[in-house]
């Protein structure tokens, strides 16, 4: 059986770090805060790895099926019997897998930040925020109650907000953190309504009870909910769709993705942790957690999930090909890869072989966390070295940054799906799942995988080959100490995570993931089809060679190519004008049609009422203030007159 | 039938009311205090006439011997000699007289319309009765109000000292 | 009707009461206002005694009320005079028309 104390400690240690560093960091642990945060997280990681070992190899499997355990559940707020907000710990294959991913990536980021963020003025605050984020994410992963997941969902939103806005004196960072918060908050509103609909139908907030109620087709709850319809869809469909909107907002799915590229204003390690490996996959995790409901009760919503994922994947891949800010390229790449995970869930079914998409999605989540964190940290090393985010300033860095170069190359190969790196295996499974279920999505995915290889190697060649680089004077952070790192890579603490993650990115694919994670807990054999792999690998290699041809040496071929695709290139460069559409909707439509009348109403009617009451009071009091003369005898006369009148009234009129 | 008792009552009543009226209308404050004194003595006389000798004695001791003397002392403390009292505005006087007249008329109308059950016997309590009842701790007794009054007097004394003897560097 | 009884004493006390009220309303000097208040209190005492004698002669409650009112009146007079003297110290006057610091 799982040990509740050990599992509870995994999220609580980062929380302790947050409280300790948040309260005392700036005074007492000015310099040691990074080490403290890292040490706490190292403990967490070890505990998480131990838990994973224990679960997968010791007690988790009963009669060939991985079971779900709830080692601890505290009822926190009970609305009525059965409907309560609990704080619980769920131990099953996906939560344990996520525990490992979150703690490991977070640990890597903690270690890396020791070097990357060194000398920052708010160094302890940074580690405190990281602790808060890690705590929230782990709490989200372990949640046993849909409301618990919502609470931690908002907490990760807040810590993401804090970390994006870490350079709070930089206007673009402030704008980005507000944008991220508002967009995800907007999506979370959908999530909350979805929670209310689902829990109302199921009569509970608990995940297990909810899933078992909603997936049995003859239960009263499902029949009632199916009978209630709104705009042609049943209540359950609406509930599931709204929950998915929440997930799509957090996971930056089209069209709610606009916050993710801007979120790159945060420190690069933060982007690696939050906006690549962990928080943005929370949406995937949420859909996976409620997967039985999606798959068995509301297949229509699952279809939507699939299409949203596929559209996001291809749009993001096209945009990524044109961006020049390396972190933005990576951000769009993240969005594209999460799109992969989403449509993999979307094409999956529940149980047995048909659940391949589910396994593939989570497998991709796992491998993606490795290589995307590696890419971000590698990009961070480059930015650290060159003091610029712009691809145009880079080039020829392979001699100066050998370790970064190798690890970055491994990550690029992994994401491009070149065997035998990790991305190959997970992507093959996703493509296979798509191939078996939905040919249109399969073709989209195939094209996307070619584009992925192209833009990743465009990035790689632009950074490490091509023309010589330009070194900018200012550092990546405005408050950074001026310590020139010209001529040497970041120190040991920055290289260690890169190497560890590179090992992960290279080897994670060999984990027989289907044995551990599947829809129904039974082991899933992953078949390897050689013929099937030919197409994606060939496309990937084609993408790589195109990128090599265009970007390995400095030349004018890219410009020519861009010119020949003029319209498409421009549209993609401007991110398909989605930001502009949002601006148009908010500025022109919302502000003019709703904001202005509301402002007019506020200024004239609401303020008018307030001013009227104020003015009326002032006018009347000005008139009657002479009564308050301060002359005692005058008061006494009023008093006596009042008493006489009242007495007369009571005696003669109201007998 | 006009008896001596009746005449005495009317004399006392006339003394009381006249002195009271003069007390509130004279413009010399010292005279006002003296008229008040005689008015109070008149009331004490009424008590005697009602055969409530103890109350009459208390009235003379406390009011005549205590409060009026206190008032006269405070006149000495606050008033310049030979100064007449300030005149009140005429409209204030008229309004006050009107209000007072209305109130008096209302009260007297009510009093004369009401029929009080006059008791058959009239007996006056002796001092011994009063003393016994005053210190009685039964339900009918007045021991508790007596103690409360003593606390009140103590508080008043402390209050007087605090108010009157406040050192006043802040007013200088 | 000429024989003095309850109604005569009630008339006397009511007259005394309203004389006191008139004095309270028209006098500008605080000490004379205090005198008016003493008149009012005395009229009340007179009422209590009259009711005690003519309506409930077997009881003594009116008498005790009178006694306590006299005691309280003494305390009140003492406190009032302390306040008057304090006011005189701060305003050099005990005219109520001058003591109007608390107006609007």
A168-184 per-position pLDDT tens digit? 888 888 888 888 888 88
- Which residue from A121, A113, A124 is spatially nearest to A23, judged by alpha carbons? A124
Please list every residue in chain B whose beta carbon sits closer than 8 Å to the beta carbon of residue C29: 29, 85-86
DSSP bridge partners of A78: A84
Instruction: Write down the pTM of the prediction.
Output: 0.66
Q: Please report the domains of chain C, with CATH numbers, ordered by start residue.
A: 6-102 (1.10.287.3510)
When the pLDDT of each residue in chain A is averaged and rounded to a whole number, the result is 82
DSSP bridge partners of A91: A69
Indicate the range of A45-54, A471-480, A517-526, C48-57 predicted with least confidence. Answer: A471-480
Which range, A14-28, C35-49, C88-102, is most confident? C35-49
Residue C22's pLDDT band (cuts 50, 70, 90): very high
DSSP bridge partners of A229: A234
Give me the residue label for tokens 């209000």: B99
Give the separation between CA A552 and CA A466, rounded to whole angstroms: 5
Coil, strand, or helix at residue A574? coil
When the pLDDT of each residue in chain C is averaged and rounded to a whole number, the result is 87
Which phi and psi (to 5°) does residue A234 adopt? -75, 165
Token reading at B36: 């008040």
Please list every residue in chain A whose beta carbon sits closer than 8 Å to the beta carbon of residue C24: 633, 636
Q: What is the CATH number of domain B4-84+123-165?
A: 1.20.120.1200
- Work out the end-to-end distance of chain C between its first and last CA atoms, rounded to an integer number of angstroms: 53
Cα dihedral C54→C59→C63→C65 (10° resolution): -110
Contact yes or no for A622/B80 (Cβ under 8 A): no
Name the residue of chain C whose CA is nearest to B25's CA: C23
- Which residue from B29, B10, B125 is spatially nearest to B77, judged by alpha carbons? B29
DSSP symbols for C18-68 = HHHHHHHHH--BHHHHHHHHHHHHHHHHHHHHHHHHHT-TT--HHHHHHHH
Residue A470: what pLDDT? 61
Give the tens place of pLDDT for each residue, A450-461: 888 888 888 888
Token reading at B30: 């010292």
Does residue A225 carry a pLDDT above 70? Answer: no
Give the tens place of pLDDT for each residue, A589-611: 777 788 888 888 888 888 999 99
Token reading at B161: 């000292």
Contact yes or no for A416/A457 (Cβ under 8 A): yes
Cα dihedral A414→A442→A232→A257 (10° resolution): 30
Give the tens place of pLDDT for each residue, A325-372: 888 888 888 888 888 888 888 888 877 777 788 888 888 888 888 888
Give the tens place of pLDDT for each residue, B16-60: 999 999 999 888 888 899 999 999 999 999 999 988 889 999 999
Residue to mutate among C6, C21, C23, with most B CBs inside 10 A, is C23
How many C-beta atoms lie closer than 10 Å to residue A59's C-beta? 13
User: B145 to each of B56, B65, B92, C53, how far by Cα in Å?
Assistant: 21, 24, 40, 22
**Which residues contact residue A111 at a Cβ distance below 8 angstroms, ignoring those fewer than 6 apart?**
A38, A493, A496, A497
Q: Does C80 touch chain B (CB under 8 A)?
A: no
Residue A477: what pLDDT? 42
Residue B167: what pLDDT? 63
Q: What is the mean pLDDT of residues C86-104?
A: 80
Contact yes or no for A273/A106 (Cβ under 8 A): yes
DSSP bridge partners of C51: none
Considering only the beta carbons, identify the residue of C14, C73, C85 that sits closest to B74: C85
Minimum distance, in Å, between the CA of residue B113 and any CA atom of chain A: 12
Does residue B169 carry a pLDDT above 70? Answer: no
Alpha helix ranges (H) inside A418-477:
422-437, 439-464
Contact yes or no for C32/B97 (Cβ under 8 A): no
- Work out the end-to-end distance of chain A between its first and last CA atoms, rounded to an integer number of angstroms: 84
User: B101 to each of B18, B113, C42, how far by Cα in Å?
Assistant: 17, 18, 19
Q: Does B145 touch chain C (CB under 8 A)?
A: yes
Contact yes or no for A110/A40 (Cβ under 8 A): no
Q: What is the mean pLDDT of residues B126-152?
A: 87
Token reading at A2: 């799982």
CA B156 to chain centre: 19
- Which residue from C9, A299, A436, A206 is spatially nearest to B52, judged by alpha carbons? C9
Please list every residue in chain B whose beta carbon sits closer than 8 Å to the beta carbon of residue A640: 99-100, 103
Give the separation between CA A565 and CA A558, rounded to whole angstroms: 11
Coil, strand, or helix at residue A225? helix
Considering only the beta carbons, identify the residue of A641, A648, A651 that sits closest to B99: A641
Sign of the torsion formed by the C-alpha atoms of A5, A11, A14 and A18: negative
Q: Answer whether B92 sits within 8 Å of A644, measured CB to CB.
A: no
Token reading at A162: 């804090």
Alpha helix ranges (H) inside A323-387:
326-346, 356-386
Q: Does A651 touch chain C (CB under 8 A)?
A: no
- Which residue from A19, A15, A14, A22 is spatially nearest to A38, judged by alpha carbons? A14
Indicate the range of A188-197, A227-236, A541-550, C32-41 predicted with least confidence. Answer: A227-236
Coil, strand, or helix at residue A234? strand
How many C-beta atoms lie closer than 10 Å to residue A285's C-beta? 28
Which phi and psi (to 5°) does residue A465 adopt? -120, -130
Q: What percent of chain A clears pLDDT 90, i.e. is strictly above it?
A: 3
Name the residue of chain C whose CA is nearest to B29's CA: C32
Residue B19: what pLDDT? 94
**Which residues contact residue A49 at a Cβ distance below 8 angstroms, ignoring those fewer than 6 apart?**
A100, A103, A104
Does residue C88 carry a pLDDT above 50? Answer: yes
Q: What is the DSSP letter of A85?
A: E
- Which residue from A497, A510, A244 is spatially nearest to A363, judged by alpha carbons? A510
Minimum distance, in Å, between the CA of residue B150 and any CA atom of chain A: 30
Please list every residue in chain C whose beta carbon sits closer than 8 Å to the beta carbon of residue A640: 21, 25
Rounded to the nearest 5 percent, the helix, strand and coil shares of chain C are 75, 0, 25
Does residue B12 carry a pLDDT above 90? Answer: yes
Give the tens place of pLDDT for each residue, A119-147: 777 888 888 888 899 999 998 888 888 88
Does residue A487 carry a pLDDT above 70? Answer: no
- Three-state SS annotation for A190-246: HHHHHHHHHHHHHCCCEHHHHHHHHHCCCCHHHHHHHHCEECCEEHHHHHHHHHHHH
Does residue B1 carry a pLDDT above 70? Answer: no
Residue C1: what pLDDT? 54
Q: Answer whether C103 sits within 8 Å of A630, measured CB to CB.
A: yes
Coil, strand, or helix at residue A468? coil
Token reading at A49: 């790895």
Q: Answer whether A644 sits within 8 Å of B110, measured CB to CB.
A: no
DSSP symbols for A282-322 = HHHHHHHHTHHIIIII-HHHHHHHHHHHHHHHHHHHHHHHH
Q: Does A649 touch chain B (CB under 8 A)?
A: no
- Which residue from A585, A588, A569, A570 is spatially nearest to A255, judged by alpha carbons? A585
Give me the residue label for tokens 């994606």: A536
Burial (CB count within 10 angstroms: exposed 0-12, middle 13-18, buried 19+), residue A554: middle
How many C-beta atoms lie closer than 10 Å to residue A598's C-beta? 12
Note the residue count of chain B.
172
Does residue A534 carry a pLDDT above 90? Answer: no
Residue B113: what pLDDT? 87
Residue A617: what pLDDT? 93
Angle between helices B90-113 and C6-26 (to 10 degrees): 160
Give the separation between CA A346 and CA A294, rounded to whole angstroms: 9
Of residues B41 and B120, the one with the higher pLDDT is: B41
Residue A652's pLDDT band (cuts 50, 70, 90): confident
Give the tens place of pLDDT for each residue, A262-314: 888 888 888 888 887 788 888 888 888 888 888 887 888 888 888 888 888 88
Token reading at A385: 């070295």
Give the separation between CA A57 and CA A205, rounded to whole angstroms: 31
Considering only the beta carbons, identify the residue of C22, C58, C75 that sits closest to B97: C22
How many C-beta atoms lie closer than 10 Å to residue A121's C-beta? 13
Q: Does C80 touch chain A (CB under 8 A)?
A: no
Residue to mutate among A633, A634, A644, with most B CBs inside 10 A, is A644
Does residue A94 carry a pLDDT above 50? Answer: yes
Q: What is the mean pLDDT of residues A470-475?
A: 51
Does residue A479 carry a pLDDT above 70? Answer: no
Give the tens place of pLDDT for each residue, A431-455: 888 888 878 888 888 888 888 888 8
Coil, strand, or helix at residue A628? coil
Q: What is the mean pLDDT of residues B81-91?
A: 79
Does residue A482 carry a pLDDT above 50? Answer: no
- Which residue from A340, A592, A327, A530 is spatially nearest to A451, judged by alpha carbons? A340
- Which residue from B63, B74, B100, B80 is spatially nearest to B28, judged by alpha carbons? B80
Q: How many helices (H) and strands (E) does chain C have?
A: 3, 0
Residue A484: what pLDDT? 42
Cα dihedral C29→C35→C36→C39 (10° resolution): 180
User: B142 to each of A424, A640, A649, B149, how far by Cα in Å?
Assistant: 103, 33, 37, 11
| Domain parsing of chain B, residue ranges | 4-84+123-165, 87-115
Q: What is the DSSP letter of A577?
A: G
Residue C36: what pLDDT? 93
């Amino acid at each position: 059986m799982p040990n509740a104390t050990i599992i509870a400690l995994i999220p609580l240690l980062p929380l302790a770090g947050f409280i300790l560093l948040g309260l005392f960091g700036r005074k007492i642990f000015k310099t040691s805060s990074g080490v403290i945060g890292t040490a706490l997280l190292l403990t967490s990681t070890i505990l998480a790895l131990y838990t994973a070992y224990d679960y997968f190899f010791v007690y988790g499997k009963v009669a060939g099926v991985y079971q779900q355990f709830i080692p601890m559940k505290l009822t926190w707020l009970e609305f009525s019997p059965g409907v309560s907000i609990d704080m619980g710990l769920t131990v099953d294959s996906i939560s344990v897998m996520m525990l490992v991913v979150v703690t490991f990536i977070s640990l890597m980021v903690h270690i890396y930040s020791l070097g990357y963020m060194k000398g920052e003025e708010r160094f302890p605050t940074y580690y405190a925020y990281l602790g808060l984020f890690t705590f929230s994410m782990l709490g989200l992963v372990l949640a046993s109650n849909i409301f618990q997941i919502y609470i931690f969902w908002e907490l990760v939103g807040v810590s993401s907000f804090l970390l994006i806005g870490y350079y709070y004196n930089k206007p673009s960072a402030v704008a980005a953190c507000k944008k991220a918060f508002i967009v995800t908050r907007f999506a979370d509103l959908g999530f909350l309504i979805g929670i209310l609909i689902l829990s109302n139908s199921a009569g509970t907030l608990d995940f297990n009870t909810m899933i078992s109620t909603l997936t049995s087709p003859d239960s009263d709850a499902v029949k009632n909910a199916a009978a209630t319809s709104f705009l042609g869809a049943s209540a359950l469909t609406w509930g599931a769709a709204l929950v998915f909107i929440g997930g799509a907002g957090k996971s930056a799915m089209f069209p709610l993705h606009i916050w993710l590229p801007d979120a790159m204003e945060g420190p690069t390690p933060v982007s690696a942790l939050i906006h690549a490996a962990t928080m943005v996959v929370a949406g995937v995790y949420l859909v996976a957690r409620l997967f039985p409901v999606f798959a068995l009760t509301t297949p229509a919503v699952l279809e939507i999930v699939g299409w949203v994922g596929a559209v996001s994947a291809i749009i993001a891949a096209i945009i990524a090909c044109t961006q020049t800010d390396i972190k933005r390229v990576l951000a769009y790449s993240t969005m594209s890869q999460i799109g992969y995970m989403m449509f993999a869930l979307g094409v999956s079914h529940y149980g047995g072989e048909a659940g391949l998409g589910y396994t593939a999605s989570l497998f991709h989540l796992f491998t993606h966390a490795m290589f995307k964190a590696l890419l971000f940290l590698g990009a961070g090393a480059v930015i650290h070295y060159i003091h610029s985010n712009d691809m145009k300033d880079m080039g020829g860095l392979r001699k100066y940054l050998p370790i970064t170069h190798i690890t970055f190359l491994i990550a690029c190969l992994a994401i491009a799906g070149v065997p035998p790196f990790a991305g190959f295996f997970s992507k093959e499974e996703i493509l296979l799942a798509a191939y078996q279920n939905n040919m249109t999505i399969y073709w989209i995915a195939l094209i996307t995988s070619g584009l992925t290889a192209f833009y990743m190697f465009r990035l790689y060649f632009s950074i490490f080959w091509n023309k010589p680089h330009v070194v900018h004077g200012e550092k990546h952070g405005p408050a950074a100490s001026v310590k020139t790192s010209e001529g040497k890579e970041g120190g040991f603490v920055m290289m260690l995570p890169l190497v560890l993650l590179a090992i992960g990115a290279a080897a994670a694919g060999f984990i027989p993931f289907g044995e551990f994670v599947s829809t129904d807990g039974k082991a899933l054999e992953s078949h390897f089809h050689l013929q099937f792999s030919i197409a994606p690998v060939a496309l990937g290699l084609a993408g790589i060679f195109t990128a090599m041809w265009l970007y390995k040496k400095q030349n004018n071929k890219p410009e020519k190519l861009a010119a020949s695709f003029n319209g498409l290139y421009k549209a993609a460069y401007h991110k398909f004008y989605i930001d502009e559409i949002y601006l148009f909707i908010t500025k022109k439509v919302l502000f003019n049609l709703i904001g202005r009348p509301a402002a007019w109403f506020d200024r004239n009617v609401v303020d008018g009422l307030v001013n009227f009451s104020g003015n009326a009071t002032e006018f009347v009091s000005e008139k009657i203030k002479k009564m308050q003369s301060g002359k005692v005898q005058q008061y006494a006369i009023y008093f006596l007159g009042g008493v006489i009148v009242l007495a007369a009234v009571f005696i003669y009129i109201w007998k | 039938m006009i008896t001596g008792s009746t005449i005495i009552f009317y004399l006392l009543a006339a003394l009381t009311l006249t002195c009271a009226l003069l007390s509130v209308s004279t413009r010399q404050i010292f005279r006002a205090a003296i008229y008040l004194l005689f008015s109070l003595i008149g009331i004490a006389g009424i008590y005697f006439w009602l055969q409530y000798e103890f109350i009459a004695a208390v009235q003379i001791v406390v009011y005549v011997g205590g409060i009026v003397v206190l008032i006269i002392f405070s006149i000495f403390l606050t008033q310049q000699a030979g100064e007449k009292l300030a005149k009140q505005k005429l409209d204030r006087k008229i309004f006050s007289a009107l209000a007072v007249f209305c109130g008096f008329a209302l009260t007297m109308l009510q009093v004369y319309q009401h029929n009080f059950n006059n008791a058959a016997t009239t007996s006056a309590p002796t001092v011994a009765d009063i003393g016994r009842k005053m210190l009685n701790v039964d339900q009918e007794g007045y021991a508790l109000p007596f103690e409360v009054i003593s606390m009140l007097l103590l508080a008043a004394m402390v209050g007087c000292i605090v108010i009157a003897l406040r050192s006043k560097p802040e007013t200088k | 009707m000429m024989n003095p009884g309850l109604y005569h004493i009630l008339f006397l006390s009511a007259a005394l009461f309203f004389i006191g009220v008139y004095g309270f309303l028209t006098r500008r000097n605080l000490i004379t206002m205090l005198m008016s208040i003493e008149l009012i209190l005395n009229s009340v005492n007179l009422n209590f005694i009259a009711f005690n004698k003519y309506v409930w002669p077997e009881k003594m409650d009116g008498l005790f009320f009178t006694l306590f009112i006299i005691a309280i009146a003494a305390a009140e007079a003492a406190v009032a005079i302390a306040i008057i003297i304090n006011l005189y110290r701060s305003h050099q006057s005990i005219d109520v028309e001058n003591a109007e610091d608390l107006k609007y």
